[in-house]
Structure 1
Amino acid sequence: MNQLLAFKPRSRRQFFGGSLNRTLSGRSLLAVFTILCAGTCDALEPSSDWLGFRGDGRGVATAGPTTLAIGDDGNRAWKRSMPGRSVAGPVIVGDLVVSTSSSGPDEEDLFITGLNLSDGVTRWEQRFRATGRPYFHPTSANAAPSPASDGERIVAFFSSNDLACVSVDGQLLWYRGLGRDYPKTGNDVGMASSPVIAGDTVVVQVECQGDSFAAGIDLATGENLWRIQRPAMSNWSSPVALSTGSSSPTVILQSREDLIAVDARSGKVQWSFDEGRDAIASATVVGDRLLSPGGDLIAYRLTGKNETPTELWRENQLSPRNASVVSDGERLYSLKGSVLLRGDLETGEIVWKTRLSGLGSTWATPVVAEDRIYVFDQTGLGLIIQDGGDEAEITTKVQLEEGVLGTPALANGKLVVRSKTMLHCFK
């Protein structure tokens, strides 16, 4: 899975113009996604907060540090030890940073910790006991999914399928033991799909070889709104929420067997493709474009809430390895092993690709601010890559004390990175 990509693989890009509207078929693991844009599309201006996995789902912020350096003369503002291990990315709400952890012999002790973004001082911490199976791969942790926030509440999910909702001041609002409610869920290498907040609904993908399902849970009460069966196979990709201009957003679910769009509040299926997608990397929504990874990266034009999307192009070189694609609305970036590629969002053409010397296995999705791409690997090596337009250059290298598997957070010009047992803030 982590083998280095040959630098010049055979390209297999196809471009679809006009109003071609089709359902895909074939044996290769393709990528897809779709929906949105009923009336108006999501704004391309990044949020000032970082409210979930990849922030607003694109992995883009307005500003970030120009270098990464530790030591007396460095720009690491603070570093804090956390109460356990984690491979989950943090979220940022104003001056609050929230990170999850798990500890103990079987990592059955679960933590949600809120800290000041400004100085790293802990504001509050909630501790729970896992109610489901705390199984995970040795390189992972029970604290694997990234939390999500609506700006007022924080929803934290764990590999044991424990789901907790707390207020931004750390008060427990509700708790669900989905592993206890549905004891045949889980897999031996761990669950890692991050929850998404879509309007007033929390959507989770609990997909595995056993009792495989997706569910919509009321954000206010923690009660099930709907639950649908999903293909019985392991899946670590995360759901994607799409604003359709209606009172109920749409959520995209993908697996190695299908792709479906469901109404976030009712769970009603709006459309589906009976074809496998990527089970690790997640889709990316950028304005009226939806990018889906798989054997190819496929770009779709988003149309109406219940309308099948239109395929625009596909390019196999741009489909990522483990990390998801990020895009600012013009440029898209894809990481394949140690090779970073920039593509054109409109055409799927490759603008440049560069090998990132020294980069090891990567699970964290890159994040972007202005013309800078921030990449971290499993050893803790961090890079800043400067996008020069027609070429790229590594401008910064930093080696953290331990490995990074969770996607960093960017907000208010600061980069917050969760390593195995520590939280780091660069300014």
Structure 2
Amino acid sequence: MKTIPPTLFLLFTIIAAPALAENWPSWRGPENQGISSETNVPVEWGTEKNIAWRLPLPGAAGSTPVVWGDNIFLTSVAENDLVLLCISTEGEEKWRRKLGSGNRDVRGDEGNSAAPSPSTDGEHVWAFFANGSLGCFDFEGNEIWQINVQEKYGKFDIQFGLTSTPVLHGDKIYLQLIHSGGAKVVALDKATGKEAWAVSRPSDARQECEHSYASPIVYDGKEAKFLLTHGADYSIAYDLDSGKELWRVGGLHPPGRYDVTLRFVSSPVAKDGMVIVPSAKRGITVAVKTTGEGNITEKQDNYFWTHEVTPDVPSPLIVGDYVYLCRENGNLIVLERETGKQLYEERTNRIRHRSSPVFAEGKLYLTGRDGVVTVVQAGPEFKILAQNEIGEAIAASPVFSNGRIYLRTFDALWAIGSE
């Protein structure tokens, strides 16, 4: 029997080894930036093409699933109950846990109390609902702790429900509670649910501008680390350990007048020393430095650039040399990262876009409310590579893990890719 030389054995091992699966632990992915490192992800699919499975769900919701290993977690309504589901990557429900009841549908088909997305660290999963229920479970579905945020920090006073997704980082889970009843920012010990710190969030916003439907992010860079909250006319950065306010940026309204209906939905994104701060409706988008101090609204040396258009609902992307803004109407804007110069604005699918775009393997995935996902070539030139339709309404963002794309519609969870 011939022996295989060590170098050839190593080569065969490398070739035979499967690519490592990327987990998707939060609604915007591994780094809260909407960027996937997955390769060989699907580009084309349809109801009868490239579908691994479809699992009907107990109710509608716009929350984005999260994936760790062979577990998919998502929030949903089940009649009047608010539930956390665990689904296997083979498309079978493992368990569901009720965290409360009293679902509230808002703006017709726009949303409900299961709009916030869960988060996971690979050992536990955290779920929050618009009624204030916040709970932590292990992967077997055992409850670790549960609290009601409204009971602890005050009744939510917000027109369409408090639908912000908490952000998980280190040993804490962070919440922005931005509404008319007294805005607060809260950090909880993720293991126990006990308060690490809580601070009030002062603002001169008024009327509906006091409300926010955006979600906080954490930036963990070499030059700066902070929690960034977004709403009530400002993006405000806080020290992760103490809750001390580090800096804030405002001036995001249309020039010349104050719009009392300007409520933030799109969330910021931060990468490599730059924060892209969106606003809403006819507001602006600004790119600011991560190293600001105090109120930087009028400090021009803290800005990279200002752009006169904002995405309104979908969140921005920073990838390489470009910034991508998917507008609520489906138009895609590409800007030079360093200068803010607009390279193009082109139409994709002229329908409401509630989902945030995701970048994967040189492509952008833009999801329309009608369930059509437009795949666009990334970079300075506009090219549509595919438009994929499954015929079900979507408000959640696409999820990329283990060579598949997971799409959560109002009716079902779809696994796009090989069986």
Under a length normalisation based on structure 2, what TM-score does the superposition of the two structures give? 0.81
Query: Deviation at 1:284?
Result: 0.5
Measure, in 1, the Cα distance between the counterparts of 2:116 and 2:211.
15
Partner residue in 1 for 2:395 = 405
1:250 touches 1:305 (CA, 8 Å); kept in 2? no
Partner residue in 2 for 1:396 = 386
1:254-403 aligned within 5 A: 254-273=230-249, 275-276=251-252, 279-294=264-279, 295-303=283-291, 310-317=302-309, 319-336=310-327, 337-356=329-348, 358-387=349-378, 389-403=379-393
Task: Give the SS at the match of 2:150.
Answer: helix
Measure, in 1, the Cα distance between the counterparts of 2:294 and 2:273.
15
1:198 touches 1:249 (CA, 8 Å); kept in 2? no
Partner residue in 1 for 2:106 = 136
2:274 touches 2:287 (CA, 8 Å); kept in 1? yes
Which AA in structure 2 matches 1:49? N
Q: Confirm whether residue 125 of structure 1 aligns to residue 96 of structure 2.
A: yes
CA, structure 1 residues 212+133, in 2 after alignment: closer, same or farther (shift >3 Å)? farther
Q: Name the one with the larger helix percent.
A: 2
1:205-251: per-residue Cα shift (whole Å, max 9, x none)? Answer: 122122332211110100122222234721111111122569x9520
Which AA in structure 2 matches 1:354? E
Partner residue in 2 for 1:116 = 88
Which AA in structure 2 matches 1:292? V
Task: Give the SS at the match of 2:23.
Answer: coil
- Given the alignment, which residue of 9, 25, 49 partners 1:51? 25
Measure, in 2, the Cα distance between the counterparts of 1:150 and 1:307.
34
CA, structure 1 residues 253+386, in 2 after alignment: closer, same or farther (shift >3 Å)? same
Under a length normalisation based on structure 1, what TM-score does the superposition of the two structures give? 0.80
Which 5+ residue runs of structure 2 have no aligned equivalent?
A: 1-19, 254-262
Measure, in 2, the Cα distance between the counterparts of 1:189 and 1:307.
29
1:215-254 aligned within 5 A: 215-230=186-201, 231=203, 233-244=210-221, 249-254=225-230
1:284 touches 1:324 (CA, 8 Å); kept in 2? yes
Which AA in structure 1 matches 2:325? S
Partner residue in 1 for 2:5 = none
Number of residue pairs aligned between Structure 1 and Structure 2 = 372
1:49 touches 1:94 (CA, 8 Å); kept in 2? yes
CA, structure 1 residues 153+299, in 2 after alignment: closer, same or farther (shift >3 Å)? same
Question: What do you get for the CA RMSD once the two structures are aligned?
Answer: 2.6
Which 5+ residue runs of structure 1 have no aligned equivalent?
A: 1-45
Which AA in structure 2 matches 1:199? G
Task: Give the SS at the match of 2:303.
Answer: strand
Query: Deviation at 1:299?
Result: 1.6
Measure, in 2, the Cα distance between the counterparts of 1:182 and 1:53.
24
